[in-house]
């Protein structure tokens, strides 16, 4: 392992929906599970969907480059090709985007391809890509 892996636990209202969404649509391999939670391999990181219906959904947004971005969200940074493949797969599946696939901060440091959507429990996910790795933390 060259980089540490992150671990993220998040609430869902239905484990079967989470299994279909993260496993089938996003292609995350399933790890351990119980009647109350499921581990997923999220691009080499461990995310855990916990059955907690009272805690689901996003509530606040913040303005970023002219868009209202969900404050509570998670995702990964992909290569541009992998990001485009995911965007195409999500569009073909009829995904309703909070922020449609686009390039943010055009011509500026940190220019990035990004998209936002919700899982079935209302958790916001962002997938992004940069043309060059040195742009990830560019100011």
pLDDT of residue 1: 56
61 by Cβ neighbours in 10 Å (0-12 / 13-18 / 19+) ranks as middle
pTM: 0.91
Instruction: Tell me the pLDDT tens digit for each residue of 15-30.
Output: 999 999 999 999 999 9
Domains of the chain, first to last: 7-54 (3.10.180.10), 61-135 (3.10.180.10)
pLDDT band, very low/low/confident/very high, at 129 (cuts 50, 70, 90): very high
Report how far apart the first and last C-alpha atoms of the chain are (Å, whole number): 28
């Amino acid at each position: 392992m060259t980089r540490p892996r992150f671990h993220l636990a998040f609430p869902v209202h239905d484990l079967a929906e989470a299994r279909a969404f993260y496993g089938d649509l996003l292609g995350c391999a399933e790890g351990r599970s119980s009647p109350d939670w499921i581990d997923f391999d999220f691009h080499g990181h461990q995310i855990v969907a916990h059955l907690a219906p009272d805690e689901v959904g996003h509530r606040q947004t913040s303005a970023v480059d002219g868009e209202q971005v969900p404050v509570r969200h998670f995702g990964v940074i992909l290569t541009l090709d992998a990001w485009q493949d995911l965007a195409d797969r999500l569009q073909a599946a009829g995904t309703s985007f909070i922020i449609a696939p686009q390039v943010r901060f055009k011509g500026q440091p940190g220019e990035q391809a990004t998209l936002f959507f919700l899982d079935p429990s209302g958790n916001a996910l962002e997938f992004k890509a940069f043309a060059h790795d040195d742009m990830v933390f560019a100011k």
